[in-house]
Structure 1
């Protein structure tokens, strides 16, 4: 096979004005117009309101490219192109295809249209807004109210039309290389594989589909390179159109999720030969790992969890959304930082939410290398879809293309049909159109599982999220399946409400906060910095959410003294809420086996449920996640007694020591104790029942004191430090702490040492103008303890720079 990438340099034309711009793939309407100064930053202030008008226009992209005589000698030449979304594609003046699905590659045979020398490729890009407007008139379809009406009519990422965290900017363009692929004798059309695991052995079956363009016999060479350097080879003479190759690997190097082992990958190379000459090839990395979705009846209902290589995994992580509304701004570096930040916070799972798009190849490669499990929705969310034959045909092609592209990635452990559509049909009061409801069942409970049975039979499929198993049967059932729980936040229940439920797997729950102050400064003027200002509300897409944040603040905290304090408090409130939920779910390990909060990241600068904002800055939530997703944690359940649970996600038992204290906020020791015990592997154990009323009989004493515990391993290394409080923070009887610090350094890091004269809650370390990353932040600190925080050095930054820029505040600094 020969591959020719064409059109490195395109001319991009705005047809309305005939303005022309030089672009390279990836390019889009908004990205191009912004870079050439036609529009201002669409994310600044309320620019979104006028930028959307440019998305009602049509555009043209074209280029010339050279073909030599040798390339034209290929028996077959295919053009491969992926466009977002609506386009007509012309080659040398001839219409070769029309695209209407951003989620897949289109391929067409074009040899007869090519010529030696200069050739001309032209792509006409049509406005998705105009298209959905007309389609919605023909057949009204339900979709989320925050998005532009009619978006389900087009196979384009839904979030681009707006969401309750997303801006309405359905950009369009070309993000993937356009390729010509030439074949002389034949090609490898499709490769699938399955793996069956036995003790110290894996049986592999490869299914290789071949297309022969000649009368010559073809053969297949299969080569597997082991992480050890060993090579496994197999050859098939006289290859047929469909070929099966079986082999076994003894003592395999298994692929493990983060926290459970190494991420070993094998290299697969398949060659198609004609007269011993290689005429096509296929290469992929893959991992040897066994995945099962365990659904077994028990006393609580039916289990729901993943068993990886015979280890029962508690899934810990967050929901991923696309990293930008302007896709050309996404890149490998941004994704690597985001996924690496997941590892730093002890994630083992992300959920690829169904309202976005199937990510670039590098994203999944990073998940494979980092050990991040991926719950992967297909790209459908919260909507009805048309029953038309051409639409269904596009869906089939999309599923086949993406499953074939992604099925070798060990990180993907589940295909899920959609996000919240089954739930919407049952609970949201959407129009109960019989044909559309039948179309739902056809797509998600017939077409998709049938395709997966053929192309990817080893990986579990789940019809919707949340669901109890499909067919519109109680998708919110707590005793089986997965759950999305939004009574905390949307229902304005207190976060203690999490304790009332025994979910089996929570794939969505969340709480909003504002982005970091530096991020707010990028899209506001000083006059905008009030959460109820026009601009701040333009960067809040969840109706009444700013008022909801204030309501919850009033329930737990005193009124903040200024804008900065409010931003800080919103993040602490968010972090404390999700911490409470995660700790409860982890404490219930065995009943509940997954806590995937909403959401990991942002797609533009906005108030949202994210733990990391648009610019990659960690909110308090992500720092908290680093602690509440730690492999071994303690959880306090405060009722009539204080019950301390130790949760161990490690697949081995550990001898541990727990020290525990009741202290006053001023530092007086009221009570202390110690317990040494064996923490069983993969367990949640109650290790302490403390009658705290014995030591704090009055309400005044409860308001003036707190509980602290420290977990140590048998070598006296501190594994975890936790706290519990006997009243809500707004009722603490405490004084403002005085926090002192000093800074030291080595070649790579600064070291910030902090001490306090009394208890300090949620200490924030920030820097006025520097972008530095403390390894820990938003932590509690008791009197008499020293906290040392490592901060990776930035280039050219000195201790003096840090001293001039550092700002340290705690909860008490937020109030008058």
Structure 2
């Protein structure tokens, strides 16, 4: 049987002629941090202090002995090398690498000596390739298009410039005899209640194993089969009766089946190699048929049309070797708790570790996987073209067992960039990636993983017959609103599928205090500005705030609260509107779930893992049942959006309220939204506030859900001075858990408890809540041992009169 020995220890990193201990997986930055040789690049403006690390060469060494073994063959396997490296053993060259997204295997049988991995600066490698291919345009002043490396290492509009190098995934010695399983491709399909698994197997043989008859044996769910293998390839097919389908969360369960494949010697008894994976049976199609509104883009899972409740994912750390399976589970569980059912892995990052997809399989989170191309024109000449094909082939095969993986996507915004951003003239006929997105990559997917859909890019209208970012055709990125307009402008379009949109807000106050030690926090303080990477990011934050609220001059806490309110409202406004237009609009993928460091950004979870109010708002607007009030010509409309599998019949209480808390009118409406359907109900004219009223607003309540309609913006509305009482109650004798009970004496709009202000690790179970006079809200606070009413009250914010 093949055996493997991990090579995580005994590495040394050369630092100016002195060896320092190194850990694998890891990178230069993590080793220098552990040796206290560089400051934490996440703190203050230390990013500038570590810039030199990415601009010089580095060498890792360790002893290696592959001479003693009962096996015929010893392979040195690197699961990930970041990025341009020369590898030698005992002074003899093994290979040169130039791709972070690939693994590498070298025959080192009978060899020993010093193993050296010499890394060139990624900047130097990119410059050398640029000399070969010529210049190509890029949205950012970085050379990411010339090197197969995580593009956001070079900085992004939410990320620092921390250009890594190192052995970022495990290294091991594998010893084996006769033959090994070199590649296993499981093609998983389902017809009715019968699942089919076809295992396409490629073998590698030793010289003595060449031509020997072997046996491959496979099993799944009690079904077994075996084949005799005389060459280097075989196919095993298993038909599994009465399978249970894998569903996205909210649509059903996520049953997973263990597939086991064993390679046996010519006696049929001795095991040479094994392969195990969990699979799920489901069908996924993307309906891109034309209709009266243009060209659709609707996910159809097991025959059910799905309104996608998605979130975009970026690398969870700019030093990706630090992201553990436990961290993946924490972050993806946060997505699931927000009622997310799809995670898009964005093209400026990486193909994530298998642990990421394992969690998605378990939680029912569909995965939309970008190939790693983003916001740049990519040369198609060698050596890049060969690297692109090699990485695509490897990662398609690696990831295809996962039932959560539902879509391959060629790139992020490059087709749009070619047509919209002046690239076409600048390129003057030079290659820019189109051959990858419309040629190479779809061919690779069709050959290796024909059970899954492929789309050329995001955004993409389906062909060059339409603008790549045409809202009426295919996928659409909505960034004009954040960049230039008020968030209410989301209501002016009904795209077929919104693959990116979002609004910024700063991270939690405790995150900022940790990140900016000793700094007096202000929107324009040095550290705050350094941790705002978007072009005119603070200006856009301020303009978004001032369109709705009076600017809180000199009051950082108030500014912080209001920008978080605006972020939550902005995203909710878009999703409520687009859900109201299902099935014409078939999904939203919010930018973004997470951060790779502490920063003001579009995230719902900040760089320290704390939830922004947006996270709670996503849980509301992504729930199966959503109640909203949508502005319309004439009177507002009440919208019941039901993504559940059963009809939703309810009684809605509609109230016309005055700012002083008195009621001007009320009615009850009986309404039904069918399974996965939307129902619109006109608001009775007698209850509709005047379009310019600063004293009246509309409230709809049903089944514990609430929708609000204020006819004017907050700074124009006649809010009373908010008055409310606060009481804390210990829960079940647990000093770490308290209920915060807030009772309103007046209208209290968008009440928010910021839990980290009570205790750094505290967490609240709800975000923004609006109370009418006499109403009570109960907020559960965990991780806040001994929190009293005074500390809690200091952490409560709400909208105040202008």
Same topology, TM > 0.5: yes
The 1-side partners of 2:530 and 2:313 are apart by: 23
Matched, 1:87 2:69: no
2:500 to 505, 508, 516: 508
CA deviation vs aligned residue, 1:349-406 (integer Å, no higher than 9, x gap): 1111000011111111111111111111000001112232221111111001111110
Matches within 5 A, 1:547-696: 547-561=539-553, 562-639=555-632, 640-691=634-685, 696=689
Deviations, residues 302-357 of structure 1 (Å, cap 9, x unaligned)? 22111111111111121110011122332222221111111111100111100001
Asked if structure 2 preserves the Cα contact closer than 8 Å seen for 1:601 and 1:611, the reply is yes
Shift of 1:683: 0.7
- Which of 449, 456, 465 matches 2:458? 465
Label 1:7 to 1:198 Cα distance change in 2 as closer, same or farther (>3 A): closer
Kindly report which structure 2 residues correspond to 1:282-431, keeping only aligned pairs within 5 A, or say none.
282-430=275-423
Indicate conservation of the 8 Å contact 2:3/2:176, yes or no. no
- Matched residue, 2:763: 773
Out of 747, 752, 755, the residue aligned to residue 759 of structure 1 is 747
Give the C-alpha shift of residue 527 in structure 1: 4.4
Q: 2:533 matched to 1:537?
A: no
The residue that corresponds to 2:487 in the other structure is 495
Give the equivalent residue in structure 1 for 2:7.
Answer: 7
**Could you tell me how far apart the structure 2 residues matched to 1:317 and 1:740 are?**
37
Equivalent of 1:812, from 781, 799, 802? 799
CA contact (8 A) 1:79 1:110 kept: no
Give me the whole-angstrom Cα distance separating, in 1, the residues matched to 2:18 and 2:463. 51
* Contact kept in structure 1, 2:137 and 2:426, CA below 8 Å: no
Q: Which moved more, 1:498-507 or 1:384-393?
A: 384-393
Distance in 1 (CA, whole Å) between partners of 2:102 and 2:429 is 24
How far 1:614 sits from its partner (Å)? Answer: 0.2
Could you tell me how far apart the structure 1 residues matched to 2:302 and 2:719 are? 50
Query: Partners in 2 of 1:663 and 1:434 — Cα distance?
Result: 59
| CA distance in structure 1 between the aligned counterparts of 2:344 and 2:5, rounded to whole angstroms | 33
Write the distance in 1 (CA, Å) between the matches of 2:544 and 2:409: 33
1:142 is displaced (CA, Å) by 3.6
Match of 1:228 in 2: none
Distance in 2 (CA, whole Å) between partners of 1:346 and 1:55 is 39
Q: CA deviation at 1:607?
A: 1.3
Asked whether the 8 Å contact 1:11–1:20 carries over to 2, the reply is no
Show the 5 A alignment for 1:472-483: 473-483=466-476
How do 1:142-153 residues align onto structure 2 when only pairs under 5 Å count? 142-148=136-142, 150-153=143-146
Distance in 2 between residues matched to 1:50 and 1:329, nearest whole Å: 21
Pairing 1:260–2:259 present:
no
> Per-residue deviation at 1:498?
1.6
1:217 equivalent in structure 2 = 213
TM-score (norm 2): 0.94
Q: Which residue is 2:109 aligned to?
A: 111
Find the residue that maps to 2:694 and give its secondary structure. helix
Deviates most, 52-61 or 242-251: 242-251
Report the counterpart of residue 261 of structure 2 in structure 1. 270
Please list the CA deviations of residues 89-132 of structure 1 after superposition, one character each: whole Å capped at 9, or x if unmatched. 112322101111000101122215x25xxx43221122112332
- Alignment deviations for residues 649-686 of structure 1 (CA, whole Å, 9 cap, x no partner): 01222322222212123321222222223320111111
Offset, 1:147: 4.2
1:723 and 2:708 correspond: yes
Distance 1:511 1:489 in 2: 6
- Provide the rounded CA distance (Å) in 2 between the counterparts of 1:43 and 1:472: 45
- Structure 2 vs 1, CA of residues 366 and 101 (structure 1 numbering), >3 Å: closer, same or farther? same
| Mapped partners of 1:200, 1:46: distance in 2 | 58
SS in 1 for 2:312: strand
Q: Structure 1 CA distance, aligned partners of 2:178 and 2:699?
A: 72
Asked if the contact 2:81–2:166 (Cα under 8 Å) also holds between the matched residues in 1, the reply is: yes
Change beyond 3 A, Cα 1:343–1:806 = farther
Verify: 1:711 aligned to 2:696, yes or no.
Answer: no
Shift of 1:65: 4.1
Are 2:28 and 2:166, in contact at CA under 8 Å, matched by a contact in 1? Answer: yes
CA distance in 1, matches of 2:793, 2:9: 46
Asked if structure 2 preserves the Cα contact closer than 8 Å seen for 1:736 and 1:812, the reply is: no
Q: More displaced, 97-106 or 125-134?
A: 125-134
Contact 1:372 1:411 in 2 (8 A): yes
For residue 628 of structure 1, report the CA deviation from its aligned partner.
0.9
2: CA distance, partners of 1:219 / 1:643: 66
Structure 1 SS opposite 2:764: coil
The within-5 A match list for 1:48-127 is 48-67=47-66, 69-71=68-70, 73-75=71-73, 77-112=75-110, 114-115=111-112, 119-127=113-121
Q: CA deviation at 1:567?
A: 1.1
For residues 458-496 of structure 1, what are the alpha-carbon distances to aligned partners after superposition, in whole Å with 9 as ceiling and x for unaligned? 100000110011458420122221000111012x12222
Aligned residue pairs, count: 790
Instruction: Give the Cα–Cα distance (whole angstroms) in 2 for the partners of residues 497 and 77 of structure 1.
Output: 58
Contact 1:147/1:162 (8 A) holds in 2: no
Shift of 1:249: 2.0
Given the superposition, is the C-alpha separation of residues 433 and 165 from structure 1 closer, same or farther in structure 2, using an over 3 Å criterion?
same
**Correspondence for 2:228 among 229, 237, 242:** 237
Distance 1:610 1:387, change over 3 A: same
Q: Deviations over 1:402-458 (max 9, x none)?
A: 111100111111000000000000000125466865452321111111111111001
- Contact in 2 for aligned 1:528/1:535 (Cα 8 Å): no
Can you list the C-alpha shifts for 1:709-767, whole angstroms capped at 9, x where unaligned?
2222xxxxx3x222121111111102221221222211564222221111111111123
> What is the alpha-carbon distance in structure 1 between the residues aligned to residue 563 and residue 638 of structure 2?
28
Q: Does 1:746 align with 2:737?
A: no
Whole-angstrom distance in 1 between the partners of 2:139 and 2:250: 40
8 Å contact kept, 1:769–1:805: no
Confirm or deny: 8 A CA contact 1:636 1:644 kept in the other structure: yes
Cα 1:538–1:793 shift into 2, 3 Å:
closer
Whether contact under 8 Å (1:514, 1:607) holds in the other structure is yes
Would you say the 8 A contact 1:219–1:272 is kept in 2?
Answer: yes
